[in-house]
Homo-oligomer: A and B are copies of this chain.
Amino acid sequence: MIYMDNAATTWPKPPEVIRAVTGCMENYGANPGRSGHKMAVQAGQILLYTREMLCQLFHVPDPFRIIFTYNCTDSLNLAIKGSVLPGDHVITTSMEHNAAARPLKELEKHGLELTIVQAGPDGSLDPDDIKKAIKANTRLIVTTHASNVTGTILPIEDIGKIARSHGIPYLIDAAQTAGVLPIDLSELPVDLMAFPGHKGLLGPQGTGGLYIHPEIKLRAVREGGTGSQSESVFQPDILPDKYESGTMNTPGIAGLGAGVRQLLKEGQSKILSHENRLGKLFLEALSHIKKIKIYGPSDISKRTGIISVNIENKDSSEVANLLDERYNIAVRGGLHCAPLAHNTIGTFRQGTVRFSYGVFNRLDEVKSCIRALEEISRD
């Protein structure tokens, strides 16, 4: 199997990640922050360790500004619903995944005012269009960091500067970029960052997080036991407890810590240049196959490890099935949970065949994908 579905979840996971999950379950699988015994303390320590690994990667000084969630969707729901109220105005883009678009559209039914700024046909966004959309009641700007359909990287630094100059919190969806692109939260004008644990960070599914800037106040959206302030029937106001009700996914978080440690050990820039090498070869070769249409920017530095294509008018899911059945290549066809983005790039009916490569893909695998596409396009 050639796994080219890393934008959905990365695979394989490093053996260190699997060992960390197993080790937690076998050796100290107690409930962190609940009891005071040795195993519970050790379980608590692994949560802190993973927070610290994430802080190192994202340049966050205070580990308690990293909140654990269960996936990037959970993080986005918390960040959005904890920030805005009916009557507020939110700006987002036409490149969003449904993880951001669906909570926003749901809130719109209940009195939220929503502006969806249109991106260009390659997924690129002009920060000025965000600026023009700002109103007196704008309370949040939400954009993806990079599209899960085209891989297009959005100008988050410019958007963040605009947000800061207007005093509007800025939330980025780092589903495709956390662990993939360098993200320095000590420099970037970003107030909230939602990220999955199981994609570029190489951790297990069932993990995710939200970075919350020290000046941001968020309401909790899930109350419950936190192991802290047990005497109160009200949610504690301290971080991270305020947002971390209920038993954490401790084994998953142990795995996430090991994933981030591997990233830091390998070096993010080394991984990125490997992925860019694959991407460059892939894009270059595909540009010579006549029947293939490539979406997104042609400059590899403007995209993450996603290459979405179509073969003339062939249904994207059919092509994806062919790749799976005939070539043992795992890709995703269809709309990738991002209908707005497909409207933007003109593929709402056809979808796209999405190849998404990662740190563990090799050059010969990319070559096999190219050969397969050549053959199918000759059919």
Contact = CB atoms under 8 A, between A and B. Distances in A.
A152 B34 CA distance: 21
Interface string A219-230: 011111111001
Q: Is the interface of A mostly helix, strand, loop or mixed?
A: loop
11 contacts: A3-B30, A9-B31, A11-B39, A12-B29, A31-B205, A35-B330, A39-B330, A72-B246, A206-B207, A227-B337, A249-B252
Contacts of A103: 222-224
A251 B206 contact: yes
A316 to B, nearest CB: 11
A237 B77 CA distance: 18
B35 A320 contact: yes
A248 B38 contact: no
Interface string A168-187: 00000000000000000000
B246 A37 contact: no
Contacts of A234: 102, 105-106
Interface string A2-15: 01010011011100
B97 A225 contact: yes
Given A8-B31, A37-B324, A204-B252, 19 more contacts: A5-B35, A8-B30, A8-B34, A8-B247, A21-B251, A35-B320, A35-B332, A36-B332, A36-B333, A37-B331, A38-B324, A73-B222, A73-B224, A102-B245, A204-B251, A226-B337, A230-B337, A231-B335, A233-B339
B77 A223 contact: yes
B99 A246 contact: yes
A279 to B, nearest CB: 20
A258 to B, nearest CB: 12
B34 A25 contact: no
Interface in A305-354: 317, 320-321, 323-324, 329-340, 348
Stoichiometry, copies per complex: 2
Contact of A331 (B35, B204, B245): B35
Contacts of A320: 35-37
A146 interface: no
Contacts of A337: 34, 224-227, 230
Contacts of A1: 38-39
A193 interface: no
A326 to B, nearest CB: 12
A146 to B, nearest CB: 16
The 4 closest A-B pairs by CB, nearest first: A206-B249, A73-B246, A225-B337, A73-B224
Interface in A89-133: 97-103, 105-106
Contact of A73 (B35, B37, B245): B245
A22 interface: yes
Contacts of A321: 36
Contacts of A375: none
B98 A250 contact: no
